[in-house]
Structure formats: C-alpha cells, structure tokens
Structure 1
Amino acid sequence: MRHRYEIGQLEVTVGQWVAFLNTADPDGGNRLGLYDGTESPSEWPKYGQINFSPSAASGSHYSVAFPEWADKPYGFANFLRAARFVNSLYNGRLISKRSSGNGRFDYVTYQVRLSARTERGMYDLARPKTTRTHRTGFVLPSQDEWIKAAYYDPRGGGTYSYWKYPTNPGVFGDGAATAPNPSVLNPTTGDVTNAATQPLASYHADGKPAPTWCPGQLQPDACSTVNPFGLDPNTYAQVYQGSLGTVGGARTTSPWGTLDQGGNAVEWTDTITAPPSGRGSLRVWRRLHGGISNAPAFQMWPSAVGLQPQDNVFYNHTYPWLGIRIGVIGDLTPGKS
C-alpha cells in the first residue's frame, strides 16, 4: 500500500449498529432491508442480537437484545448494509477527533453524529459496482488495506515481514501447530475469560470446543435447540457451534495494533472480485477476510480470502458471523459533516 489510511481497532458492535438502525430507519419500516427476523432472540436465541418493536416511538424501534450483546460484533452484515453504515458516518457530523498512544501504537478516536442519509456518501448505492467516490472520509477497508493491517510487520518479523496469523507470526507450512490459543468465553456473558493466555483468538481449534455462550436471561436449552430453520438438536449443534465474543476481549494485537482481525467475525472489504466460476455474473461479488469463531485456524491465514455476493440474502438469514470494520482515508476535520 502506497497511501496512508487508518483502520478500526475493533469491529462494529451491536450497540453501534442499533444506533445506526434507529437513525436510518426511525419509523421501523425496514425499507432498506437493514434487519431480518432471524436477528431477534425470540427467533434465534443463541445468535439473536437485536429486538424490533413495531409499537415503539420513532427512532426507538430497534434495541440491543440483552445488555451482553452491546459490545459484541454485529454479525448479520452484507456489503450493502455495511456501505450504508459507512455512508451514515460519512454524511454525519464529526464531533471530535482525539489522538492517543498505547505502547508502540498510535490511535485516533472519532465521535460522529450519524446521518439518516445512507444511499450516497462514500458509496453511491444507485451503482451496483460502487467504489469509493471521495478521497477523504470513512470507508470499508479494501482487501489490500485489510491484509496489510492484519499481517504485515513493519519491523520485519514473521516470514518476509508477513505474519501467518493476525495475532502472531506463526510458521508457514506447519498447519495449525503455531496457531494462537482459542478463546474461552464466559458461558452467560460472552466475555473472554482466558486473555492471560496469549496469543489468543476466537476460533474453533481442532479437538477443542468452539467458543460459545448463551445470554443468562435465556434457558440453555433454548440456545442449544431453538433455531429458525427447524434443524434437529444434533444437526444444529454440529453446524452452529461458535459464538461471537466481546470485541477486543482476546487482547492480542496485529502488527498494527488491531484486535480480532483473526477469528470472531469475518469482515467485509469493498474490493470487487470475479465470481467463483470466473465468468461474468449479474451479481456483484466482494472480498471478505478474517475467519470466524465457528471455523478452524486455516481461515485466519493470509491465503484464506473469501468472497460473497454483496447482497447475499440467504447469508443474512443463516450466517451470524458476518462483521464490519471501518477505515478512514484522508484527514477528517471535526465540525464538518
């Protein structure tokens, strides 16, 4: 990468997404398809993050399902949802910008008043193959930006300055032998309980249980059996094992100070790619990266680059590990919208 950019230290949380929903859809009409019923804990107890109340006051139809979900990654994103969130940030008002440091890493904290304007901004959603339309503002990271932040070691560590995992250099070619330790989650809150065992990531290590939790307000049987697809308990337990843990709870940084680029939720980039067949397609496909809490270590490797249609409605309903990480290009100035 030859241009300067910033990338979010953490994934976008459920609390932040709910604030966006109530801003972008204040009347609860869901005209933009920003919410699905499977995101409700009544339909999907183990993964339901957000409640919808049709009778609530304007700007209050959406709420975090349980307090424990507020600091977990939003897990039902497609690219179009992610781009609308970015446009809301881009069109919003930047209230403050604060620089800080932690060891060898420099951080910038932005406080933004979100905008209800979601269809144009950094991305023009009238154009299916939309790319960045401005040189300054909030963005979804490109594939190259995401990979550099996760794996490239500016101090020359790893193999040819690249780590095998976003958490530690590892050894290329040794399978999962040098993978980070798997996170263990508090069974009722989803907080990481073994952060002292570094390096660490939320993924499903071979021969060990996937990191999982069930909100303490629910009966454990509901999380282990109730699902919106009618799967029997045994099949459901095999397919849906890993849960999303508290953002940053693993405390293991990439070479650039980010957290959770390995495991937890896979993340969208704004990079357009050819479909798997390599032939033309009416649908627009985008790259994703990062591995998930339900998958093994190899999904955290640099080579494990995924791709999905940007509007994959099937995944909206069935895949609760699709996350968002925000980037910044250019120099943002507080007070401007």
Structure 2
Amino acid sequence: MHVVSVRTGLGRAALAACGVSVLLAPSAGAAVSGTGQPGGVRGEVVTVTTAKVGAPGNAAVGVVPFTDAVYRSCADAPPGSADCLMVGGVDDPYEIGQFEITVAQWVAFLNTADRGGRDPHGLYDRTESSSAWPKYGSIDFSAAAPDGHHYSVAFPEWADKPYGFADFLKAARFVNSLYNGRLISRGASTSGTFEYATYEVELSPQTERGMYDLARPDATRAGGSGFVVPSQNEWIKAAYYDPSGGGTYSYWKYPTNAGVFGDGDASAPAPTVLHPTTGDVTNGATQPLASYHATGLPAPSWCPGQVQPAVCATANPFGLDPIAYAAAYQGSLGTVGQARTTSPWGTLDQGGNAVEWTDTITPPPAGGDPARVWRREHGGVSNAGAYQMWPSAVGLQPQDNVFFGHTYPWLGFRVGVVGDSGPCKP
C-alpha cells in the first residue's frame, strides 16, 4: 500500500504496515516518541476513519448555485443560467472522512505543529477560547504550559464536536501534517454495504509543504497519492451520488435522503435536537436527520454545562447587544456522527453541522477581490436552512478569510485519501 510517496515518513510506514514491523501507539490522541519525525520531535497521534467511494467515472450533473434542481447537463438548465456548473463526477476511486475533523483532533494538531505556543502560522485566534466566547469557544490556550501542551479542549463536551474555526490554509496544514506523519496502523472494516479504512497516524510538525506547498497562495495537490482536503467533486459525489440510481440522475437532494427536487424543504431531513449541556443528539431515532435550522423551529443549540446559560446567551467577543447576538448566533455544532443518517457512501454529517472546505479553486464572485484565492465550500450548517444542504449550495470564500476566522464558528473540514489506498496484500 502506498498512501503517499515512500520518500515520506508516512510512506515508509505504509510499507511497514504490510509487513511485521508496525509500531502500535498506546492510544489515539496520545503523544508518542517521534522516531519517524525529524530530530525525534514528538507528535500527537490521531485516528482518522474514511469511507471508500467507488463507481469511478460517474456522470456529473449540472447545478445553478443555490437553486432547487439538478440537470443532466448545463444545456438543460433554464435560459440565462450562465453560472451553471457541472459537479460530482470523479474519475478514480478515493476515500473521504466518515466524520468532520473534531476539536480533539485539531488540538492534537496544534500541540504538534505549534509546540512552543508561538503560533507563527495563525492557527489559533482568541475568539476560539471559552473565556472570550463561552458558547462557541472550544479551545483554550495557556502560555505557561509546557511545550506541546499549550492548547487544550475547553470542556470535555467539545472533544467530539467538529472544529468550527477553519480556513482553507488551516485545513491544508492539518493535511500536510498527516501527509508528512508516521503511519502507525491501517485497518479495514465494513458496515452493511459501506467500506471504511481507519488510519492511526503520528502527526508531523512539518505543515508548510506536503500535499500542499503553502509557499504558493494558489496551492494545488502536489502528488496523486495521500491525504488531501477533498475537492468539490469528491465532496459532492460522496454526499449525493447514489450508485444504485436513486434520486434524480442518480443524485440525492440531501446527503441524508433522496428528497424531491423542486419541493423546497418539504422532503428535508428532520432537524436534530441537542442535549442542552452536552451537545449530544437526543433524537437520533428520528430518521433521516441532520443538524440545521429548520423553518419555524429553534436551531439546534447547547451551552457547556460548566457555563451559566445566561452567559452563553449574552457574552460574545464582539460587544454585540443581547438581541443582535441572539439573532446572529443561534445554531450549535453537535457531536459528530450522532445524527446517524448516512450518505450513499456511508459518510455522516455532510448534511448539517459545519460547512466544509474543499480544495477546489474558483473565480471570485461578482465584486469579489480577484487578487485573493477563492475556494469552494459545501455542506449544511446548524445556523442555516435546508437549502444549504442541496447539491447546488456551492458556496465560496477567500481561503484566508480573517473576518470569518474571528466571527464564524461553523466552518470546518474533513479529509480524504487519494491514490493507491487499497488494503495491504500478503
């Protein structure tokens, strides 16, 4: 198995995984000796589970951004739909994260990539702390902590929630850390018709080069094999493309169910209800289900039990008055996977929870700054309606949107694997 080039530590370990010399870590998330890292630097260990996506060469469909339809081709779109684009077609098999990257995984990355707590690459903002933002602050920073321990999950309940303050450059650095890391083990499993791979990786502190050379603002994939931020087409195919032919032109309207194009939100999944102090999903038996803000219902929301509800309802780092704050910030991110409704390929939370980055570069919108690099985003969000879960919800943002990094707590990502990622053969 070649997850990445054998010139990297992860590639060498991938070869070892097919033999007998695999070093097993004590547990996921624990710090282990960095024998595979430059200078013996210790890296945190993360476990990433991916869903396998097959049916290579599937047909794409046409979408007009944020409209309630898909088309066999853009020639079939309504007259004047100059912004129609074809999405969802992928030529090769690949893998995509079963879940969004969690706060615990991101903290492990922070303590590996920024052991000294100096943050030269802007990986952390004070608005992410529980003291600055009691309702949404999931990560605390301590300048006095020992190297490798400056960052911590703010409250235990946050550990298994999506990391929600990502820009693309943060996502790319996480992927580079995986790409340059040391593979400890790889396992395969199935659930019904779904196939999964589970990677246990000691993260690398090398974040600036790997799958993405971040010396280039418009960085694209540097290799054909390894960990990636999924492309827009990879993301959409995993979320909507039904290899059995369900939906419309084999595409579902939601990542949770086929739905009916043209019916607004009538066939949308039910919205999650979150435990008020833990953020766990309490109505998982209701299916299909997704974390989004359904029309006429409260947004899914919670406040860490260690914080007084009145503080969560009013305290914010922007000085917004309680009424404006309540209107702008309603939905919360729930525990990953607990909505339980799978996409056609076995992923979870591609509908709802956090909006997610892709690595697809796109022209800016009308009036957008052409000097900046814009990338596509996708997925529902717990603070927005069902339309955000449609295949046509092809959002875009500058990859380094500092404003969003300060003010938007619902922007995450999941990782993918491309190339020769099949199980080891004897």
1:62 is matched with 151
- Per the TM alignment, residue 279 of structure 1 is displaced from its structure 2 partner at its CA by 7.3
- SS of the residue 1:222 aligns to: helix
- Does residue 138 in structure 1 map to residue 227 in structure 2? yes
CA contact (8 A) 1:119 1:126 kept: yes
Runs of 5+ consecutive residues of structure 1 not aligned to the other structure: none
- Per the TM alignment, residue 333 of structure 1 is displaced from its structure 2 partner at its CA by 8.8
Residue 90 of structure 1, aligned match among 170, 179, 185:
179
- Per the TM alignment, residue 291 of structure 1 is displaced from its structure 2 partner at its CA by 1.6
Aligned residues: percent identity? 75
Task: State the one-letter code of the partner of 2:413.
Answer: I
- Does residue 40 in structure 1 map to residue 123 in structure 2? no
How many pairs align?
A: 335
CA contact (8 A) 1:274 1:280 kept: no
- Per the TM alignment, residue 9 of structure 1 is displaced from its structure 2 partner at its CA by 0.4
2:95 is matched with 6
2:24 is matched with none
Residue 282 of structure 1, aligned match among 371, 385, 389:
371
Give the structure-1-normalised TM-score: 0.98
CA contact (8 A) 1:95 1:334 kept: no
- Does residue 200 in structure 1 map to residue 315 in structure 2? no
Task: State the one-letter code of the partner of 1:180.
Answer: P
Distance 1:23 1:279 in 2: 35
- Does residue 109 in structure 1 map to residue 183 in structure 2? no
Distance 2:278 2:133 in 1: 17
- Does residue 225 in structure 1 map to residue 301 in structure 2? no
CA contact (8 A) 1:94 1:333 kept: no
Task: State the one-letter code of the partner of 1:254.
Answer: S
CA contact (8 A) 2:175 2:415 kept: yes
Q: Which has the higher contact order (CA 8 A, sep 6+)?
A: 1
CA contact (8 A) 2:352 2:382 kept: yes
- SS of the residue 1:224 aligns to: helix
CA contact (8 A) 2:354 2:410 kept: yes
- Per the TM alignment, residue 331 of structure 1 is displaced from its structure 2 partner at its CA by 2.5
2:333 is matched with 244
What CA deviation, in whole Å up to 9, does each residue of 1:257-310 have, x standing for no partner? 000001100000000000012777110000000020000000100001100000
Give the structure-2-normalised TM-score: 0.78
Distance 2:407 2:368 in 1: 26
* CA RMSD between the two structures: 1.3
2:32 is matched with none
2:411 is matched with 322
Point out the structure with max Rg over C-alpha: 2
What CA deviation, in whole Å up to 9, does each residue of 1:30-87 have, x standing for no partner? 1110000000010000000000000000000000000000000000000000000000
CA contact (8 A) 1:87 1:122 kept: yes
- Does residue 167 in structure 1 map to residue 256 in structure 2? yes
The 1:57/1:222 distance shift into structure 2, 3 A limit, reads: same
The 1:231/1:279 distance shift into structure 2, 3 A limit, reads: closer
Task: State the one-letter code of the partner of 1:83.
Answer: A
Distance 2:257 2:422 in 1: 35
Distance 1:278 1:134 in 2: 33
1:272 is matched with 361
2:389 is matched with 300
Segments ≥4 residues shifted beyond 6 Å: none
2:19 is matched with none
Distance 1:200 1:333 in 2: 31
- Per the TM alignment, residue 334 of structure 1 is displaced from its structure 2 partner at its CA by 10
Runs of 5+ consecutive residues of structure 2 not aligned to the other structure: 1-89
Distance 2:170 2:312 in 1: 26
Residue 349 of structure 2, aligned match among 252, 260, 275:
260
CA contact (8 A) 1:275 1:281 kept: yes
- Per the TM alignment, residue 330 of structure 1 is displaced from its structure 2 partner at its CA by 1.4
- SS of the residue 2:375 aligns to: strand
Residue 16 of structure 1, aligned match among 93, 105, 109:
105
Distance 1:42 1:67 in 2: 15
CA contact (8 A) 2:188 2:423 kept: no
- SS of the residue 2:420 aligns to: coil
CA contact (8 A) 1:96 1:334 kept: no
CA contact (8 A) 1:94 1:334 kept: no
- SS of the residue 2:235 aligns to: helix
- Per the TM alignment, residue 132 of structure 1 is displaced from its structure 2 partner at its CA by 0.2
